Amino acid sequence: MKLLSLTFLGLMILMNQAYSKNALPKSQLPHGIIKQDGRQAPALKLTSLDGDAYNLEDSKGKWVFVHFWATWCGPCRKEIPTIQAVVNKFKDTNLDIVIINTAESEDTVFNFLGLLAPDITPLMDEDGLTTELWQPRGLPATYFVDPGGKLRYLALGGRPWNKAEYLEFLNQFK
Amino acid sequence: MKQLTRLLKFTLLCLIAINVYAAKQEQLIYTDDDVYLRFVQLTPSQIGSFYEGREFNKKAVELLMASCYVTVIIDNKSDDFLWIDIARWDFIQNGKKIIQQDRKYWAKKWDEINLKQAHRSTFSWTLMPAERNLYPDEGVGGRIPIPMQTQPFSVVLNFPTGENKQGKMKSVTIDNVVCKQDEK
């Protein structure tokens, strides 16, 4: 009887550990980053503020940080300097950082970024239709697209990308 | 001369303090263990300036200024999903419902004045999402347009909870909400 009780107890502990292991991935991600279901990323074909064409297909084989923002949005204004702080760290790595302005004029974006984030050259979603195609939960929004073009992670709202927790997360894609 | 400078400085500080106090008074805040809510009201001129600054045309700005916008900022402080579903939010004045000016209402208005797509998109992103969940610790903010009101009203916010809205309904009532007017 004692042996049976001990075996039962052991089994309960093992089951509990297995359950905890399943719950672990959530806690391993930085605060506010959630897993996505791996569906195909929507199309993304835009021209940058400098006039260069970009297609998400060009980044196949690399991870892509896809970020939507607008100058009028408070959390975007807070977040963009933290992207500016990391953008050069990931140049020529396996992580492409793609910043998309939603439906604003070149002058507005140029003046804004000149002050806060001069190293960022955003893609211009002039009519806002690309943003709508991606259906972000709100602005700002950041998606992580895997090398196969699938949506893997989503950042909820603005995140301090230059903080250790987030840098560590970004570094895994390098 | 020194005393005059001091007096001027003191007056300036008092004015700043009064302004800060007034600004605080204009915000309605509700908080409990599950949710943080903040209502921010803008005057027609402030709304007009916001959209004019985004290069909206005169006709659009005039239309926008004729409405009242209840701007709500929400943080989900609970450990569960909290659902935004603004069709379940009631704006009530003297027992009568004030009808929200939803996205369909504005799409019709924009069609009438042929507003360009970029501005329709910007306007849409400044509105409170019609329906979506909020993860624990997630926040959202946005405007809910209603017809301009001269009297205070109440806003009853009903939030379904749980991943599939299967949880208990969370309800919060905010009284004495006003459509803030420009000073004459």
A23 pLDDT more than 70: no
Between A and B, how many CB-CB pairs are < 8 A? Answer: 59
pTM equals 0.84
User: Which of the residues B76, B122, B124 would you substitute to probe the A interface, choosing the one with the greatest number of A C-beta atoms within 10 Å?
Assistant: B122
Alpha carbon B52 to chain centroid distance? 18
H or E element, residue B58: helix B58-65
What pLDDT is stored for residue B15 in this prediction? Answer: 46
Question: Which among B94, B2, B8, B76 has a CA at the least distance from the CA of B37?
Answer: B76
Phi/psi for B38 (5° steps) reads -135, 130
What is residue A65's three-state secondary structure? strand
Report the residue of B40, B57, B121 to disrupt the A interface, i.e. the one with the largest count of A CBs within 10 Å.
B121
User: What pLDDT digit, counting tens, does each position of B35-65 carry?
Assistant: 999 999 999 999 999 999 999 999 999 999 9
Residues of chain A in contact with residue B139, where contact means CB-CB under 8 angstroms, are: 157
Calculate ∠ Cα A77-A81-A83, nearest 5°: 110
* ipTM for the predicted complex: 0.82
The answer to whether B94 contacts chain A (CB < 8 Å) is: no
Do B135 and A34 lie within an 8 Å CB cutoff?
A: yes
Please determine, for residue A24, whether its predicted confidence score (pLDDT) is greater than 60: no
User: Looking at the complex, does the CB of residue B54 fall below 8 Å from at least one CB of chain A?
Assistant: yes
Work out the mean pLDDT of chain B and round it to a whole number. Answer: 90
The pLDDT value given to residue A80 = 97
Longest Cα–Cα distance in chain B: 71
| Inter-chain touch A104–B129, beta carbons under 8 Å | no
pLDDT score of A49 = 97
* Tokens standing for residue B157: 């916010």
Q: Say yes or no to pLDDT of A169 above 80.
A: yes
When pLDDT is averaged across residues A37-42 and rounded to a whole number, the result is: 97
Q: Are B112 and B119 in contact (CB under 8 A)?
A: no
Helices B117-126 + B103-113 axis angle, to 10: 160
Give the closest-approach CA distance of A21 to chain B in angstroms.
20
Q: How far is A96 from chain B (nearest CA, A)?
A: 26
> Tens digit of pLDDT for each residue in B116-173?
999 999 999 999 999 999 999 999 999 999 999 999 999 999 999 999 999 999 999 9
What is the residue type of A148? G
| CA neighbor of B172 nearest in space, from B2, B28, B62, B68 | B28
Chain A positions touching B75 (Cβ under 8 A) are none
Confidence of residue A25 (pLDDT cuts 50, 70, 90): very low
Partner residue facing A137 (CB), from B54, B132, B137: B132
Q: Which of B28, B3, B25, B76 is nearest to B173 (CA)?
A: B28
pLDDT of residue B1: 52
Q: Which residues of B134-162 are buried (b: 16+ CB within 10 A; e: fewer)?
A: bbeebbbbbbbbbeeeeeebebebbbbbe
* B27 pLDDT tier (thresholds 50, 70, 90): confident
Please determine, for residue B19, whether its predicted confidence score (pLDDT) is greater than 90. Answer: no
Of residues A72, A132, A137, nearest to B54 (C-beta): A72
Share of chain A above pLDDT 70, in %: 84
Residue with the two structure tokens 């905010």: B174
Across the interface, whether the CB atoms of B121 and A138 are under 8 A apart is answered no
Nearest by CB to A127, which of B50, B118, B125? B118
- B119 C-beta neighbours (distance < 10 Å), count: 19
| Residue B111 pLDDT | 98
Determine contact, residues B74/B89, Cβ cutoff 8 Å: no
Q: pLDDT band for B183, please (50, 70, 90 cuts).
A: confident
The percentage of residues in chain B with a pLDDT greater than 90, rounded to a whole number, is 84
**Averaged pLDDT, A9-31:** 51
Is the predicted pLDDT of residue A16 greater than 50, yes or no?
no
Mean pLDDT for chain A overall: 89
Buried/exposed A21-55: b ≥16 CB within 10 Å, e otherwise? eeeeeeeeebebbeeeeeeebeebebebbeeeebe
What does the pLDDT average to over B11-33? 59
pLDDT digits (tens, 9 = 90+) for A44-103: 999 999 999 999 999 999 999 999 999 999 999 999 999 999 999 999 999 999 999 999
Question: Tell me, what's the pLDDT at B4?
Answer: 53
Q: Residue A143, class by beta-carbon neighbours within 10 Å (0-12 exposed, 13-18 middle, 19+ buried)?
A: buried
Spatial contact of B85 and B141, defined as CB atoms under 8 Å apart: no
Residues 125-164 of B with CB under 8 A from A: 125-126, 129, 132, 135, 137-142
